[in-house]
Structure 1
């Protein structure tokens, strides 16, 4: 056992023995001074801790110091009653406070007891009780937060373990403080009882046993009682104050002194208001001699603090600039340039009012709504869209980028409106000819005066922010499959696991990996099929992943399971679906051209046949478009994905469906046949 540990053990045992063994006055004086020093040290440590756990031994220390103080009370009471002498320390405190007036000394002692017992001890007890209750109630939420950060990769296992331990220690600390506060309360009550015993017992012993007159006995024992009470209550008050500071202390990066200076005096202008209030009070009977010097001192303090704050702001700006320069010069600065934003929206300086809220721009709010809309329509979490101005673009030009590559661009006229023709042109509508960027329709930029006239003529008129929002929405829909990586797939899986843990555990990783699930979801999004119904998708994958791991075949099974969703997406209100069908000759040729390999299946049509298929498809699709209908290709289930591969090269926006992906109640009407 170390000497330090042995010293603590001997000290605790000695405290217990003090209740039984009489102490000489000189030793009592030394122990009383030690008690005051320890109490002052505890107070100072409590003020300099940044969070309660830095002084986690405080509840146990509170018990030991309370026991020590009670042992001193018993020892001093024994000396007072037996010898009418309790040493120099107690006598000095009694004479100094009383100043020849026992009533004044007695009242001061009572005030200290009341302040310690009613104000500080009761308040600390209540705060400790509430702190313990709220800490315990918050433990499940904090544990869930740690698990979420761990699953998201924000922290590692070691950091998660340390955070959990900290939460447990906080709960133990506040629970211990709740119990330890009862010791302080009991100590205050014991001090009052000890005072009554010293006074009453001293008078009886002094008059009856020592032959003292009542006046001499009252003066002697009152002074000793007051001194004994003050010597006990001052350390008790210090420790109670330290306990109150500990339980009311919030976690901070600074100690209490620094927090007081930084937070209480953080607003120099308020010092001027307080100074003005004191200056006005000088015109009352209080007098200017008392208030005006203080007002002047506060004014000067506010001026100095204001100058210090301004200097601090300048220093922080210089420090930031130096850090930026150092970062650029450092060899590691290139690493930050490797990060590619998933989605970027860049615009010329002429379009800055679109994104500037002070100029009435609502682009940021529209982007929030776009992300919500796409979450509902496609079932994906669209990443944050980076918005920035680019002086290299034309003033009214904007570009949309996916992973650093430009996928679309357009131009806007902020003081105009985009008017799209209803199908026939009205020569009276005059404007700047352009193309609607999202769908490529011919349109006109019209001014405010022509807007109402265009609306009356049947034109669809939209403002520039709506044009941008529509264009951005359509581009994200078109390239949604490029935004779904393994990390995003993992987030979707984790979200589903919260509600359907058995389903996710069965599929991942026993049957499929995250990458396999990602491939299926990408194929669905590429054909604009929403993946919001993840439950049905995962149920289907769990059923068929036992037989095959081919993502193309698994996707076909999932599409068939989503038949109701696909039907509602493409079937009009009259429940009739007008489609272009694949002729039997072409269907047979495609089925015969399918090749099986270890990596999966692929279509191996000869170039001449492929060119003929392209030509026939283009003719049929063009005819349907000219008639004002949406072209839809319908194929048998066994060749649908191969027809999709053919169509995807030239007409990626044309949907290809199979008979098994449609509800039986849908009436299918063939408006064209593709054959060889």
Structure 2
């Protein structure tokens, strides 16, 4: 209980932010005040324990960002160790002539017991530790941190674009996007800090070497001149104390260097600590153990070789490989032992209506190699992403998107998938589960080696690359997405453009039931008194087909209640609903801009089109092919110019011909939006950028 209370008090001090300041004050005390030998022993022991704790925390950290305070901890621990070096140097030079324990039992133990009292051995041991720390561990960790910081900074724009793509596709919400952006920024800051923190360890190693020689030379001078010791006696006494002091400092420094190296060499996307990763990746295949056991065993039977160690080690590795094989057999046996359902025997059941399977509203068929993407037990995230797509589209469009029926299809290619609406295929493509797709957003800084393809959702140029090329692709400006995101984005795009097919009588009735809770009289006067439900369904489908959400079902219902008594033509009612939703339509297309850049028709051409539409009953079949081709080319040219200027391509026409022109450009110029003049709010200004058909 006392230990628990002490730990709680220490946590309380840390929560107040007093831990680091107390260590800094302790370091200043060591630099300025002489410390007794017992206190030096206590502080040296604390320094070794602190370094060991930091090393173990680095080993058991799952990701580098989970120990983001490590650079600051490294700085504080380095300063504490340097302060101890200064305090011990003072005590060694002042009291070293009194004996080996004058500077404390810890220094005496490292100078006498560890190196056997032989200062030549001590110098060699100290030099080896310093080389290992300075040349091998610290230099390698610093290089890894430097390269990681550089690649992390280069990959930041690509990672930000990937986050924005997931957010726009509905795979994540605003909070998740904010957290991922913060993590990307923290990753860059962490590796940058680690690059600088490695210089602390390198400088500490150099300072340790200088302090050792200062203690040896200064101690010999002090012993001979001030304490009248013989040169050999003074050199041996102070050299042993200096070596003990240096070893006491170098061992914690080496521990911290190893901790820093382990932290920066961790793969950010790896799961589990180092021990679990070692067991999962190093001890899964028995063949390396068997081959190594055979080689070591052959070396062990060569005459003149130390047979016992080699044969013992060979036997141990052979036993380890055998254990792995037995464990794998046991796992396979357990998998095969699962009960297989047996078809019941007896008479064949008579067919009924239950045997007629209904058509799936939304279907997703996948090849057998894509099954891990939807299997949660294998880490598949596709089901969760599709749920996110349905949630976002339901919020955007204004009605509940039906569930997606996912099943495997052996008739498809192993890596292929197929999306269907109401039993009709509307999209299909191939993805590679072991790779990622690097999409060219329009401006990249270099090519990638991989399988060239196109993004199935938007038709952008893309390349399938190995997963280890993700950072390289992001640094070149590509937007990198995994196969699950490719499928989810393709599905989201299809549902957004084909959402009107999913809206039926039941969905509209659900909308009316929800509206009846807040406006019961409006619903009562609309259906069935003013309009039948089928007409309302058709109008809402028309609105959705033109890319307008039906979230504002109250305004739509009020408009239909007013106009329904005059006409029950779905086309006319759709035009009335569009006019009432004009602010929403313009807001979605142009944002908050007051000036609306738009393409119009010359008055003569518009009058001609109006006569053609009125004369053909609204279908426009009487238009000359040559005139239609000229109109299409002119509209396409001006629409591309608006897009290059960063403006939405809009065509403004009179209301009677808007519906026909919308159908006319829907397939040939998909990005062009056709609006009627009465759909523009009064607070918006129209800026005509082109008048098609105008002469001169």
Distance 1:481 1:41 in 2: 54
The aligned runs of 1:295-306 (5 Å cut-off) are 295-306=314-325
Aligned match of 1:615? none
**Residue number in structure 2 paired with 1:164:** 181
Paired with 1:61 and 1:73, the residues of 2 have a C-alpha distance of 18
1:27 matches 2:36: no
Helix, strand or coil at the partner of 1:13: helix
Following TM superposition, by how much is the alpha carbon of 1:266 offset from its aligned partner in structure 2, in angstroms? 1.7
Partner of 1:59: 71
> What is the alpha-carbon distance in structure 1 between the residues aligned to residue 667 and residue 276 of structure 2?
67
CA distance 1:344–1:17, change in 2 (3 Å): closer
What do residues 203-227 of structure 1 show as CA deviations (whole Å, max 9, x unaligned)?
1111111111122112211111111
Match of 1:197 among 186, 189, 214: 214
**What is the alpha-carbon distance in structure 1 between the residues aligned to residue 45 and residue 254 of structure 2?**
15
Deviation at 1:233, TM superposition (A): 0.4
| Structure 1 unaligned blocks of 5 or more | 323-336, 353-382, 391-399, 408-479, 494-503, 512-522, 563-597, 600-676
Question: How many equivalent pairs are there?
Answer: 413
Partner of 2:295: 277
Task: Answer whether contact 2:92 2:241 (CA < 8 A) is retained.
Answer: yes
Q: How far apart are residue 292 of structure 1 and its match?
A: 1.4
Match of 1:548 among 647, 652, 655: 655
What is the deviation of 1:314?
A: 5.1
- Give the direction of change, closer, same or farther, for the CA distance of 1:402–1:88 in structure 2 (3 Å limit): closer
* CA distance, structure 2, for counterparts of residue 238 and residue 218 of structure 1: 30
Considering only aligned residues, what root-mean-square deviation do their CA atoms show, in Å? 4.6
1:211 to 228, 239, 242: 228
**Distance (whole Å) between structure 2 residues aligned to residue 3 and residue 338 of structure 1:** 66
For structure 2, which runs of at least 5 residues remain unmatched after alignment? 1-10, 97-101, 342-356, 369-403, 412-417, 426-493, 503-542, 548-585, 594-618, 621-627, 670-677, 680-696
**Which of the pair has more CA radius of gyration?**
1
Shift of 1:270: 1.6
CA shift for structure 1 position 258: 1.0
Q: 2:80 corresponds to which residue?
A: 68
Report the CA distance shift for 1:79/1:345 in structure 2 as closer, same or farther (over 3 A): closer
The 3-state SS of whatever aligns with 1:155 is: coil
| 1:3 alignment partner in structure 2 | 13
Whether 2:351 is the aligned partner of 1:340: answer no
Superposition deviation, residue 90 in structure 1: 0.3
Query: CA offsets per residue over residues 170-217 of structure 1, 9 Å max, x none?
Result: 111111111111111100000000000000001111111111112211
Q: 1:320 to 1:271 in 2, by over 3 A?
A: farther
Q: Residues 346 and 286 of structure 1: is their aligned pair in 2 closer, same or farther, counting only changes over 3 Å? A: closer
The TM-score with structure 1 as length reference comes to 0.54
Matched, 1:146 2:163: yes
Q: Secondary structure at the match of 1:249?
A: coil
Contact 2:35 2:87 in 1 (8 A): yes
Structure-to-structure mapping, 1:619-634, within 5 angstroms? none
CA distance in 1, matches of 2:358, 2:178: 32
1:507·1:542 contact (CA, 8 Å) conserved in 2?
no
Matches of 2:156 and 2:65 in 1, distance apart? 16
8 A contact 2:215–2:238 mirrored in 1:
yes
1:243 aligned to 2:253?
no
Q: 8 Å contact 1:94–1:224 — kept in the other structure?
A: yes
Q: Deviation string for 1:524-572 (max 9, x for gaps)? A: 9xxxx9999988778799443464397632235538987xxxxxxxxxx
5 Å matches for 1:78-89? Answer: 78-84=90-96, 85-89=102-106
Cα deviation digits, residues 9-52 of structure 1 (max 9, x gap): 22321212211111111000000000000000000000000101
Tell me, in whole angstroms, the C-alpha distance in 1 between the residues paired with 2:207 and 2:366: 75
Residue 30 (structure 2) pairs with residue 18 (structure 1) = yes
Q: Which whole-Å CA distance do the structure 1 matches of 2:363 and 2:25 have between them?
A: 71
Shift of the alpha carbon at 1:340? 3.5
Q: 1:388 aligns with which of 384, 394, 409?
A: 409
Q: Quick one: distance in 2 between partners of 1:482 and 1:125?
A: 49
SS at match of 1:544: strand
Name the CA distance, whole Å, in 1 between partners of 2:221 and 2:255. 33
Cα distance in 2 between the residues matched to 1:294 and 1:193: 43
- The 2-side partners of 1:482 and 1:160 are apart by 21
